[in-house]
Amino acid sequence: MTVVINMREGVDERKVKIAARFILEGKLVAFPTETVYGLGADALNEEAARRIFQAKGRPADNPLIVHIAEFEDLKRLAREIPDEARLLAERFWPGPLTMVLPRREEVPDVTTGGLDTVAVRMPAHPIALALIKASTPIAAPSANISGKPSPTLAEHVVDDFYGKIEAIIDGGETNIGVESTVIDLSSERPTLLRPGGLPLEEIEAVIGPVEIHPAVRGKLVDVARSPGMKYKHYSPNAQVIVVEGPRERVRQKIAELVKEYRSKGLRVGVMATEEYEADEFFHLGRTEEDVARNLFRALRELDKRGVDIIIAEGIEERGLGFAVMNRLRKAAGYRIVWA
């Protein structure tokens, strides 16, 4: 039996205590953050963290992100905190930034995927912060079945986990819609491991140039130092195709692809920033913030509408567009059509 805890009206301390008790007992609680919903367990409890992997069907070498509510909590998890980490925390925490740092021995191997580093962030969502403060640092990947689109509504978590976990906190729709940006600060040069809800440009304005790991551009890796680096991610049941190029040519190419696939008897869905003729259409909004917020919802919704093919309009790789295109290309298995 899964308890759904309604906190759409905001933090309810009584309900937070109920959810925190589940966490402290080694159970699983899905909760909203400003990015996506997380599937949480006590980060320092080996058996509890292992249950996350079991529930998601997540490979054991895909590390979890530990969520904290106070900067002091970072000292319990990381044995070194470089100056760059302090600067970034001062500027962007709470917020959609995860930092990878050398870990302390107290952090279980299962939480870090067996790595000598730990990924940590402080979420900017009042429910998430209240839950952590009432319990303990919480390990929480996105609350979806491994490989599927991340959840931005409690309903998405219910679809994937009802009857499989102890509790789901319904805090309404998440604000950003794509996961946190992950920066590795454990080696000589800061390295972007995953673009996300905090644009890279803003990070570089604080600490200077950041290297981009080849995995961000699709290169296969043997060791995943961050979620989203090694395994298939964000994929709906329908096949996804991303169309990239100059705007007018993209529009023409999408129309051509819709006609081609429909002629083969396939149901075609389109997700884009302007209207298209298709069997199903999802409007992503006008701005990069709109697209990021609606991205995973669109993939899930078009799946529910029973399409065979999802054609996604590419956007510019600036600001949040970098994270959007990273997710779209992964969702498509790098099936990209250039217009």
Number of domains in the chain: 2
Q: How many CB atoms lie within 10 A of CB 197?
A: 25
Q: How many CB atoms lie within 10 A of CB 138?
A: 28
Q: Report how far apart, in Å, the C-alpha atoms of 22 and of each of 131, 167, 201, 203, 275 are.
A: 10, 8, 39, 35, 45
Q: Is residue 10 part of a domain?
A: yes
Per-residue pLDDT of the chain (339 residues; tens, 9 = 90+): 999 999 999 999 999 999 999 999 999 999 999 999 999 999 999 999 999 999 999 988 899 999 999 999 999 999 999 999 999 999 999 999 999 999 999 999 999 999 999 999 999 999 999 999 999 999 999 999 998 999 999 999 999 999 999 999 999 999 999 999 999 999 889 999 999 999 999 999 999 999 999 989 887 666 656 666 555 578 899 999 999 999 999 999 999 999 999 999 999 999 999 999 999 999 999 999 999 999 999 999 999 999 999 999 999 999 999 999 999 999 999 999 999
Query: What does the pLDDT read at residue 189?
Result: 95
Give Cα 223 to chain centroid, integer Å.
Answer: 19
Count CA within 13 A, CB hemisphere, residue 330.
Answer: 28
Is there a single domain that holds both residue 213 and residue 275?
no
Is there a single domain that holds both residue 67 and residue 194?
yes
Is there a single domain that holds both residue 187 and residue 250?
no
Query: What does the pLDDT read at residue 230?
Result: 55
Is the Cβ–Cβ distance between 202 and 158 less than 8 Å? Answer: no
Is there a single domain that holds both residue 156 and residue 71?
yes
Is there a single domain that holds both residue 210 and residue 245?
no
- The token pair at 264 is 């083969």
Is there a single domain that holds both residue 149 and residue 31?
yes
Query: What does the pLDDT read at residue 235?
Result: 86
CATH code of the domain containing 284: 3.40.50.11030
Radius of gyration of the chain (CA): 20
Burial of 326 (0-12, 13-18, 19+ CB in 10 A): buried
Tell me which residue of 45, 39, 61 sits closest to 226, measured CA to CA: 61
Final residue of a domain: which of 183, 217, 251? 217
d(CA 325, CA 207): 24
Is there a single domain that holds both residue 65 and residue 212?
yes
CATH code of the domain containing 15: 3.90.870.10
Is there a single domain that holds both residue 194 and residue 253?
no
Query: What does the pLDDT read at residue 190?
Result: 97
**Which range of residues forms the domain containing residue 72?**
3-217
Final residue of a domain: which of 166, 186, 217? 217
Residue with tokens 């937070």: 16
Binding-site positions for ATP read 58, 62, 117, 150, 194, 234
Query: What does the pLDDT read at residue 187?
Result: 87
Is there a single domain that holds both residue 46 and residue 145?
yes
Q: Is residue 87 part of a domain?
A: yes
Is there a single domain that holds both residue 209 and residue 257?
no
Cis peptide before 190 (omega within 30 of 0): no
Query: What does the pLDDT read at residue 188?
Result: 86
Q: What is the DSSP string of 93-105?
A: -SSSEEEEEEBPT
Final residue of a domain: which of 217, 251, 280? 217
Q: Is residue 233 part of a domain?
A: no
Binding-site positions read 35, 58, 62, 67, 117, 121, 140, 142, 150, 180, 194, 234
Q: Is residue 231 part of a domain?
A: no
Binding-site positions for L-threonine read 35, 67, 121, 140, 142, 180
Q: Is residue 227 part of a domain?
A: no
Is there a single domain that holds both residue 248 and residue 117?
no
Give Cα 179 to chain centroid, integer Å.
Answer: 3
Is there a single domain that holds both residue 192 and residue 262?
no
Q: Is residue 24 part of a domain?
A: yes
Q: Is residue 194 part of a domain?
A: yes
Q: Is residue 294 part of a domain?
A: yes
Query: What does the pLDDT read at residue 234?
Result: 80
Query: What does the pLDDT read at residue 41?
Result: 98
Spatial neighbors of 246 by CB under 8 A, at least 6 apart, are 339
d(CA 28, CA 161): 10
